Amino acid sequence: MNSRLTGDETVLWQAAARVLDANWTGGATVPSPGLYPHQWSWDSAFVSMGLARHRHDRAEDELLSLFRGQWADGLLPHIVFNSRVARHAYFPGPELWDSDRQPGAPRDVRTSGLTQPPLHALAALRLHACAADLERSRAFLARLYPMLVAQHRYLARVRDLESTGLVAICHPWESGLDNSPAWDRPLGALQLPPTGYAPRRTPHTLPTGEDYDRYVRLVTLLRESGYHPGHLRETHPFAVEDPLVNATYLASTHALAEIARIVGGDPVPHREHADRVHRALLDRLWDRDTGCFRARDLRDGRLLPVVTVASFGPLLDPELPAPVVRDLTDLLLSARFAGAAGYPVPTCDIQAPAFDRGGYWRGPTWINTNWILWYGALAHGLPVVADLLYGSTLRLVRQSGFREYFDPFDGTGRGSHDYSWSAALVLDLLA
Ligand code: 9WN
């Protein structure tokens, strides 16, 4: 624990550490014991950064445990299922994905067949930056490096659908922001046959049953194609270049170059690739007319209309030109995103018709997205913005605890209690 913490911060720290201890299953952390009883990909990246401040050994195990699920082509699945958890504890369980019938999937663990924002190299480097035992940490990085390289190679080979440098998501779950209003248009265009699935979730009012029919339909198409790259490229109906996913990809590509340097590998190809992603982000997703980044639907070539918190993701790009950073921060601090009475950035433009203050990723404010913006603001030398995000994010957990998400106007906690990344990122903020 940081010895400069105030009494109040120490209490917060201890409470956050208790959540992580309680959600530790022996080799990894569940996002929330009741609602999400398996291991999730971007959750583990966030959680490892918090664990690094509390139990460094566990932080490394967290990432290694996730990579047990990696497929032969490098795909790092968004869920690694725990076989000891009851079959109906989470929908959709392993049977939806059939990973055990895919020749490239691991044999000893069942997984999903989708990705999530690739924050893992960034997380691994952050673990190293606060490691007490540098030799041990270097050995850990050397072990993880080839797995990270494979993860990035998969993204570049299989997910760069139009050879632009950017990667595409093929399912809303891959964005991490499942029911973001940004996906309403491409999801609405999806043809739906009847499915036998129904959502089994009480704590959330959203996503709705109809959203779930569409989510399941998209997985069915992927599974029936054998998760084939040709299907993704040519026919899969959901293919979107998202600014937040690509910003995490870019930040992790830079981190990969640094990890390569530390472990005696060649950083140059990673640096060159980062440059390509940086240029593509600006060429393809920056919308000069509205002064923000937007997701691009590859199936009709158009930018998606709703501005969400993902539009600020490219603050993670260290080379973002100063005028672009200025436009983004102006929007971030405007009534559309920061008008929420001292609480941090909501997930959707408050003035958009789709905004819904209680609607999961359609309006509430989340700790992880605000952590990303805080991190990006610090890297761009914007201490005032970073301080605002820091203070308002900690205010949420002081007021409502380590909830999954929060009302952006009054900070009321919503969704699951004792949510792991809310606790972990508070540890990282306080450190
Ligand atoms: C689907 C675990 C995950 C997060 C996602 C969040 C939610 C799953 C769900 O929970 O997604 O992957 O069942 O809704 O949207 O960001 O990783 O915490």
Q: What does R_g of the chain's alpha carbons equal in angstroms?
A: 20
Residue whose CA lies nearest to ligand 1 atom number 1: 173
**pLDDT at residue 203, as a whole number:** 46
Distance 36 CA to ligand 1 centre (A): 8
For 314, which DSSP code? G
**pLDDT at residue 199, as a whole number:** 54
The string of pLDDT tens digits covering residues 268-291 is 999 999 999 999 999 999 999 999
Distance 406 CA to ligand 1 centre (A): 15
Out of 60, 174, 178, 242, the active site residue is 178
pTM over 0.90: yes
Sign of CA pseudo-dihedral 328, 334, 337, 338: positive
- Counting ligand 1 atoms within 8 A of each CB, the residue from 38, 40, 179, 403 with the most, and so the one to mutate, is 40
Count of domains in the chain? 1
What domain range is 161 assigned to? Answer: 7-430
Q: Considering the domain boundaries, does residue 388 fall inside one?
A: yes
Distance 176 CA to ligand 1 centre (A): 6
Amino acid at 236: H
Atom of ligand 1 nearest to the CA of 173: 12
- Counting ligand 1 atoms within 8 A of each CB, the residue from 96, 97, 173, 308 with the most, and so the one to mutate, is 173
The CATH number covering residue 264 comes to: 1.50.10.10
Out of 61, 211, 317, 404, the active site residue is 404
Distance 272 CA to ligand 1 centre (A): 32
Q: Considering the domain boundaries, does residue 1 fall inside one?
A: no
The string of pLDDT tens digits covering residues 330-384 is 999 999 998 667 999 999 999 999 999 999 999 999 999 999 999 999 999 999 9
**pLDDT at residue 393, as a whole number:** 98
Atom of ligand 1 nearest to the CA of 43: 17
Q: Considering the domain boundaries, does residue 154 fall inside one?
A: yes
The string of pLDDT tens digits covering residues 216-268 is 999 999 999 999 999 999 999 999 999 999 999 999 999 999 999 999 999 99
Q: Using DSSP bridges, classify how beta strands 296-297 and 292-293 pair: parallel, antiparallel or unpaired.
A: unpaired
Of 63-67, 207-211, 396-400, which range is least confident? 207-211
404 is catalytic: yes
Half-sphere exposure of 253 (CA within 13 A, CB side): 28
* Cα distance between residue 84 and residue 87, in whole Å: 9
In this prediction, residue 197 has a pLDDT band, given cuts at 50, 70 and 90, of low
Pocket of ligand 1 (CB under 6 A): 31, 36, 40, 42-43, 78, 173, 176, 178
* Cα distance between residue 259 and residue 122, in whole Å: 9
Q: Considering the domain boundaries, does residue 2 fall inside one?
A: no
Residue whose CA lies nearest to ligand 1 atom number 4: 176
Q: Considering the domain boundaries, does residue 21 fall inside one?
A: yes
In this prediction, residue 204 has a pLDDT band, given cuts at 50, 70 and 90, of very low
